């Protein structure tokens, strides 16, 4: 299974393509695909629209005088273009996607079917609420389960991503502090070094001063380190639990008590909730606000950048500051509370996060996941996610180095690059060699507290045989690195549609716009 036939034996850039070049440049079923602008023609279109009858435009002389200059393709050419591009992609439906902290779990097809029911997919946000009672009931039920699973008192469904949920939760904290009359004095937010970059960015965006808390050598945040930094200027701590080292913070309750005693709030980054659903309730641990990435824990698709959904749950203390709109029961039906001054509305909300109520399609999928799993199934999913990560840890710990000793992890396992010392191979090289083996790389160089971090999260979706093959592939790579087969790494990926990119150049000098080649270039082609 693990043979590497077809891998070029020559060094460096002499990859499979160059070793056996094809006339077309295609690699068997992996077809190269130029940009639409390169293959399109200006006299072709896939649609057939009648010429408009003569009319007098009413644009006051602003009407377009020249052709718009968009390239056209026939319908079959268009299909091939996008299907070929899609085949160069890697997704959870292609293979194991061990991107730590991202929880790339299977998106059950049942959820997709539910989201496409016309009663959900065809409603419009501006419809009268009397015509969308079922949709509001679904939102209310989802909110109920999110509060039940987290042990909290309120939830705002509208944020459109985890980071947006962070912003929502921190804005609620800010509103609560302002309502106490401490808006000017409480302006510091503590953020551990191991936090996701979005945490300090969120706090800074709304005017807080960010102060770091170190993570100790054991990978945990210690309550003494938090206490040392507490004072009347501290508004909140933003803590991730389980943390980004894949460890449950054992002092979380003491940390929550310390921040509360000092008059601050406990924001929990809930991106790693998948490890504890049905096992522990963040509200019981003292959390005041936590975002939930529906695309992580509740299996909605991560999508190509959207549509996302990151509801944020709030404690009783923060509930009055939840943004509008939210769903409430009224006269045996449901209403959407839209205005801050509406009778019985929130006391002092900070406003709204989005134009409407949020991502309906994601609510349907998340609730479908919850109802199809049941409370026992969700607990089992968390247990399996943790078991799978520990299975990988145990399968690799003799070859790859664990920065925090051999203690069990939660739903993801963190390795550092000490095992690569003197091999000439880096974390990045290992990631590229994984692409050749048909795997999406793990999360690399995050969290920052560990040198050359490799964060692997298999999720509960993977079977034992899938984990066994993954472990065997990584063992094979680890042994190759230790045995001096550096070429397998430094030239990788050999088999991907694109070879290794100059990432520094791409970051420093991004070419984001296609420019039409001049006549000289065209003639030269």
Binding site for ligand PLP (CB under 6 A): 101-102, 161-163, 196, 198, 240, 244, 269, 271, 293, 308, 310
C-alpha–C-alpha distance, residues 520 and 525, integer Å:
9
Task: Write the DSSP string, 224-257.
Answer: HHHHHH-STTEEEEEEESS-TTS---TTHHHHHH
Output 105 or 196, the one with its CB closest to ligand PLP.
Answer: 196
Contacting residues for 65 by C-beta, under 8 A, at least 6 apart: none
| Upper half-sphere CA count for residue 9 (Cβ side, 13 Å) | 1
Q: CB count, 10 Å around CB of 365?
A: 27
Output 169 or 346, the one with its CB closest to ligand PLP.
Answer: 169
| Smallest distance from ligand PLP to CB 291, Å | 7
Output 242 or 395, the one with its CB closest to ligand PLP.
Answer: 242
| Smallest distance from ligand PLP to CB 276, Å | 14
The values of phi and psi at residue 260, to 5°, are: -65, -45
| Smallest distance from ligand PLP to CB 459, Å | 13
Of the candidates 210, 271, 266, which has an alpha carbon nearest to the alpha carbon of residue 244?
A: 271
Cβ proximity of 163 and 293 under 8 Å? no
Contacting residues for 57 by C-beta, under 8 A, at least 6 apart: 63
| Smallest distance from ligand PLP to CB 241, Å | 10
- The b/e string for 475-511 (b: 16+ C-beta within 10 A; e otherwise) is bbbbebbeeeeebbbbbbbbbbbebbeeeeeeeeeee
Which helix (H) or strand (E) segment holds residue 209: the answer is: strand 209-213
Output 163 or 492, the one with its CB closest to ligand PLP.
Answer: 163
Output 101 or 111, the one with its CB closest to ligand PLP.
Answer: 101
| Smallest distance from ligand PLP to CB 101, Å | 4
Output 161 or 236, the one with its CB closest to ligand PLP.
Answer: 161
Output 162 or 264, the one with its CB closest to ligand PLP.
Answer: 162
Output 271 or 480, the one with its CB closest to ligand PLP.
Answer: 271
Strand pairing report for 289-291 and 265-269: parallel
Output 101 or 427, the one with its CB closest to ligand PLP.
Answer: 101
Of the candidates 42, 44, 24, which has an alpha carbon nearest to the alpha carbon of residue 34?
A: 24
Q: What does each C-alpha distance from 493 to 275, 436, 499, 501 come to in angstroms?
A: 32, 5, 6, 10
| Smallest distance from ligand PLP to CB 78, Å | 31
Cβ proximity of 189 and 238 under 8 Å? yes
Tell how far CA 175 is from the center of its chain. 27
* Two structure tokens written together for 214: 């170190």
| Smallest distance from ligand PLP to CB 189, Å | 15
Output 449 or 480, the one with its CB closest to ligand PLP.
Answer: 449
| Smallest distance from ligand PLP to CB 511, Å | 26
Residue with the two structure tokens 């807080």: 208
| Smallest distance from ligand PLP to CB 197, Å | 8
* Two structure tokens written together for 208: 């807080």
| Smallest distance from ligand PLP to CB 440, Å | 15
Residue with the two structure tokens 């923060």: 318
Of the candidates 183, 199, 284, which has an alpha carbon nearest to the alpha carbon of residue 238?
A: 199
Cβ proximity of 362 and 375 under 8 Å? no
Output 152 or 202, the one with its CB closest to ligand PLP.
Answer: 202
Position of minimal CB gap to ligand PLP: 162
| Smallest distance from ligand PLP to CB 518, Å | 41
* Two structure tokens written together for 351: 């406003």
């Amino acid at each position: 299974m693990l043979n590497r036939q077809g891998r070029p034996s020559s060094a460096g850039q002499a990859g499979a393509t160059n070793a056996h070049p094809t006339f077309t440049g295609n690699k068997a079923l992996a077809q190269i695909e130029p940009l639409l602008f390169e293959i399109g023609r200006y006299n072709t279109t896939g649609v057939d629209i009648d010429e408009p009858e003569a009319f007098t435009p009413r644009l006051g002389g602003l009407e377009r005088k020249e052709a718009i200059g968009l390239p056209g393709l026939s319908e079959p050419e268009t299909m091939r273009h996008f299907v070929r591009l899609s085949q160069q992609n890697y997704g959870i439906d292609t293979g194991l996607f061990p991107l730590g902290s991202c929880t790339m779990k299977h998106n059950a097809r049942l959820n997709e079917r539910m989201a496409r029911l016309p009663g959900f997919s065809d409603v419009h946000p501006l419809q009268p609420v009397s015509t969308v009672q079922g949709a509001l009931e679904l939102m209310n039920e989802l909110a109920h389960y999110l509060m039940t699973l987290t042990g909290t008192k309120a939830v705002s469904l509208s944020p459109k991503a985890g980071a947006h949920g962070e912003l929502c939760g921190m804005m609620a904290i800010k509103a609560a502090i302002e309502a106490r009359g401490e808006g000017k004095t409480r302006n510091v937010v503590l953020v551990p070094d191991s936090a996701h970059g979005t945490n300090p960015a969120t706090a800074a965006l709304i005017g807080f001063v960010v102060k770091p808390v170190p993570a100790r050598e054991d990978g945990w945040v210690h309550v003494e380190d938090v206490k040392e930094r507490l004072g009347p200027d501290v508004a909140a701590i933003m803590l991730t639990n389980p943390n980004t080292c894949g460890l449950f913070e054992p002092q979380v309750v003491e940390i929550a008590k310390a921040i509360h005693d000092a008059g601050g709030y406990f924001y929990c980054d809930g991106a790693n909730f998948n490890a504890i659903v049905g096992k522990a309730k963040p509200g019981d641990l003292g959390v005041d606000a936590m975002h939930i990435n529906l695309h992580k824990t509740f299996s909605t698709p991560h999508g190509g950048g959207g549509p996302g959904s990151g509801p944020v749950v709030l404690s009783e203390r923060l509930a009055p500051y939840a943004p509008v709109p939210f769903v409430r029961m009224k006269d045996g039906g449901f209403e959407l509370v839209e205005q801050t001054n509406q009778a019985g509305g929130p006391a002092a909300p900070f406003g709204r996060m989005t134009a409407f109520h949020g991502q309906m399609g994601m609510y349907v999928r998340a609730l479908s996941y919850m109802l199809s799993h049941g409370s026992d199934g969700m607990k089992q999913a968390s247990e399996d996610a943790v078991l799978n990560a520990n299975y990988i840890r145990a399968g690799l710990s003799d070859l790859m180095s664990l920065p925090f000793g051999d203690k069990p992890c939660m739903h993801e396992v963190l390795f550092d690059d000490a095992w690569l010392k003197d091999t000439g191979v880096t974390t990045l090289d290992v990631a590229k060699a994984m692409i050749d083996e048909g795997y999406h790389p793990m999360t690399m160089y995050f969290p920052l507290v560990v040198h050359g971090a490799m964060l692997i999260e298999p999720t509960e979706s993977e079977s034992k045989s899938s984990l066994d093959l993954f472990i065997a592939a990584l063992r094979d790579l680890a042994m190759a690195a230790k045995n001096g087969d550096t070429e397998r790494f430094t030239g990788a990926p050999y088999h991907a549609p694109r070879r290794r990119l100059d990432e520094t150049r791409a970051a420093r000098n991004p070419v984001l716009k296609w420019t039409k080649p001049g006549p000289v270039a065209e003639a030269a082609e």
